[in-house]
Amino acid sequence: MVGKITRAYEREVKEGDVKMASPKFGMSILFFFLCISFCSSTDQSFQQCFSSHLPPSNITYDVIFTQNSSQYSSILQSSIRNLRFSNASKPRYLVTPYNEDHIQATIICSKEHHMHVRVRSGGHDYEGLSYISDVPFIVIDLFHIRSVMVDIKNEYAWVGAGATLGELYYSISAKSNVHGFPAGSCPTVGVGGHISGGGFGTIFRKYGLAADNVIDAKMIDVNGNVLDRKSMGEDLFWAIRGGGGASFGVIFSWKLKLVRVPPTVTVFKTVKSLEQGATKLVQKWQNIAYKFHHDLFVHAVIQVTNPNSNQNPTVQVSFDCLFLGTTERLLSSIQRSFPELGVTQENCTEMSWIQSVLYFAGYSIAESADVLLNRTTQSTQSFKGKSDYVKEAIPKTGLEGLFKMVVEEETSVLILTPYGGRMKQIKSSATPFPYRSEYLYGIQYMISWDVAEETGKRIGWMRRLYKYMEPYVSTAPRAAYFNYRDLDLGRNSYPNTSYVESSEWGLKYFNHNFNRLVRVKTLADPHNFFWNEQSIPVLRFE
């Protein structure tokens, strides 16, 4: 490698660039050369360390990619979902493990080489924390660790942390049309980040969060030990089901409890603009959606629409429903509880559960479920997201002010997700995710844009909207969803953070569960190796 770089340098000299350089430029070339030599020897020493920690039979090729590797860029870019971070600081190495040994060796060698580790499964982190860092770092990208083993007889599945939700859903449906798993709607989301941060989707009112349905897990800890539920203990097993895996280790795989779904489910979508009475419908929705039967999920998606280029943009609200049963049962329920929505037989479509997964992912239900295996769908936009939770219905004036702000930004989207059902029955301390019985619904705010120059304006709008919502949403703490990561809530100092400092954001995500997470972290990773901008802090007793 050093030889290769030296040859490139010699080529440059021959081509005359350096000969004509000023002394200052000559100095920087010298520095560049020294740096490259140093980096190359560090690269070699890291590789040597890595190989030395593997059993002789284990493969080591195609696992570590340096910034000079031809595949480095394509691997790094492959799951960057938020283009806001596509030009951010790059990892020193990309490690793409095939097995636990590779992860163990990476952790041990990263410690020896004083390098941070970021772990990436699906790359959907809203703030890019799985692939960017301000301090020298390595990314462990788990895309090879994605086997899914489904045992229908015993109703569980083992899934590699690098698998996507699409791969998981596809594998379940390949074996049974009456089993499913309650997780998110976007098929490219990785199970590593998603489940360790909670994970909700269209059937969570019936079955709870993805994290509520984990039976066991394999994780590699800060010392390179491979732990399962028994060996990690119930505290650590509790923490990684909603508290974020990245603070505690590298999740290798999950054992998930499959849930039973009926052979026929029903969907409908009803869209109303403000002029068609959307405000009144949202008012009513707030008071009833969380009380619906567990089988019924109706979320409200608020967006800007411009029905006719001659008219000013307005707001439309789409009420999207998944019902775990037939149209007949759905209609008898929705026509009684929410007649204003005007749902009829014609609005409803019956399908299998896996088709409903396609439907909510934006595919045609006629399409083969194979599309769920596509994990390379590239995002072409930058975005910023935030979240809130609502305990008391927002009054009409509050909604009107909200819609006024939404109409200012045509790429804004707000998703209102009803709670209640199973979520109300699970204790708020059962997993680190605390927002269960007292909450009517959660809000996700999202804005996207194409051009980097617009970043300030768009994020500025998002922050104004968040400020506007303050009187209408939960307080003390103002609740937020960890999987919709938001660094505006606060960030850790480097290399160590005080408990008080991290409580700023920690209480918002985890409320009363934050203290237990801190205790677990202090025991599991006392030297805070798994630090990031929003990792759980370590208690210091000095």
Nearest to 219 by CA among 208, 233, 200: 233
Residue 329 buriedness (CB in 10 A; 0-12 / 13-18 / 19+): middle
Does 434 engage in binding with ligand FDA (CB under 6 A)? no
Q: Which residue from 130, 316, 355, 474 is in contact with ligand FDA, where contact means CB under 6 A?
A: 130
Does 194 engage in binding with ligand FDA (CB under 6 A)? yes
Q: Which residue from 76, 103, 129, 267 is in contact with ligand FDA, where contact means CB under 6 A?
A: 129
Does 352 engage in binding with ligand FDA (CB under 6 A)? no
Does 483 engage in binding with ligand FDA (CB under 6 A)? yes
Q: Are the C-beta atoms of 199 and 183 separated by less than 8 Å?
A: yes
Does 118 engage in binding with ligand FDA (CB under 6 A)? yes
Among residues 184 and 506, whose Cβ is nearest to ligand FDA?
A: 184
CA distance 499 to 236: 19
Does 110 engage in binding with ligand FDA (CB under 6 A)? no
Token pair for residue 108? Answer: 């041990």
Q: Which residue from 66, 133, 171, 196 is in contact with ligand FDA, where contact means CB under 6 A?
A: 196
CA distance 259 to 213: 9
Interface with ligand FDA: number of residues (CB under 6 A): 33
Does 122 engage in binding with ligand FDA (CB under 6 A)? yes
User: Measured from the CB of residue 48, what is the shortest distance to ligand FDA in angstroms?
Assistant: 26
Q: Please report, as residue ranges, which positions from 285 to 314 form the binding site for ligand FDA (by CB under 6 A).
A: none
How close are the terminal C-alpha atoms of the chain, in Å?
46
Here's the x/- map for ligand FDA, 226-255, by CB under 6 A: it reads as -------------------xx---xx----
Token pair for residue 419? Answer: 């709670």
Question: Catalytic: 484?
Answer: yes
User: Measured from the CB of residue 360, what is the shortest distance to ligand FDA in angstroms?
Assistant: 8
User: Measured from the CB of residue 190, what is the shortest distance to ligand FDA in angstroms?
Assistant: 3
Here's the x/- map for ligand FDA, 133-152, by CB under 6 A: it reads as ---------x----------
Nearest to 110 by CA among 94, 90, 132: 94
Question: Helix (H, G, I), strand (E, B), or coil: what is residue 432?
Answer: coil
User: How, if at all, do strands 116-120 and 137-141 pair?
Assistant: parallel
Among residues 201 and 420, whose Cβ is nearest to ligand FDA?
A: 201
Q: Are the C-beta atoms of 155 and 187 separated by less than 8 Å?
A: no
Amino acid at position 177, single letter: N
Does 117 engage in binding with ligand FDA (CB under 6 A)? no
Does 123 engage in binding with ligand FDA (CB under 6 A)? yes
Tell me whether the omega of the peptide bond preceding residue 477 falls within 30 degrees of 0, making it cis: yes
Q: Which range binds ligand FDA by CB under 6 A, 188-196, 288-296, 472-480, 512-520?
A: 188-196
Does 200 engage in binding with ligand FDA (CB under 6 A)? yes
Question: Helix (H, G, I), strand (E, B), or coil: what is residue 278?
Answer: helix
The CA distances from residue 79 to 147, 280, 363, 380, in Å, are: 18, 40, 20, 12
Q: Is 343 left (phi over 0), alpha (psi -120 to 50) or beta?
A: beta
In SS3 terms, 473-539 reads as CCCCCCCCCCCCCCHHHCCCCCCCCCHHHHHHHHHHHHHHHHHHHHHHHHHHCCCCCCCCCCCCCCC
Among residues 186 and 296, whose Cβ is nearest to ligand FDA?
A: 186
Strand partners, 52: none
Q: Please report, as residue ranges, which positions from 78 to 97 form the binding site for ligand FDA (by CB under 6 A).
A: 81
CA distance 118 to 104: 14
Count CB neighbours of 130 within 10 A: 28
User: Measured from the CB of residue 204, what is the shortest distance to ligand FDA in angstroms?
Assistant: 8
User: Measured from the CB of residue 192, what is the shortest distance to ligand FDA in angstroms?
Assistant: 3
Tell the residue number behind the tokens 């203290």, with chain if given. 515
Q: Which residue from 187, 193, 243, 537 is in contact with ligand FDA, where contact means CB under 6 A?
A: 193
Q: Which residue from 103, 148, 150, 186 is in contact with ligand FDA, where contact means CB under 6 A?
A: 186
- Candidate list 389, 419, 441, 484, residue with the active-site label: 484
User: Measured from the CB of residue 413, what is the shortest distance to ligand FDA in angstroms?
Assistant: 11
Does 127 engage in binding with ligand FDA (CB under 6 A)? no
Among residues 243 and 477, whose Cβ is nearest to ligand FDA?
A: 243
Binding residues for ligand FDA (CB under 6 A): 81, 118-126, 129-130, 142, 161, 184-186, 189-190, 192-194, 196-201, 245-246, 250-251, 483
Positions marked active-site: 484
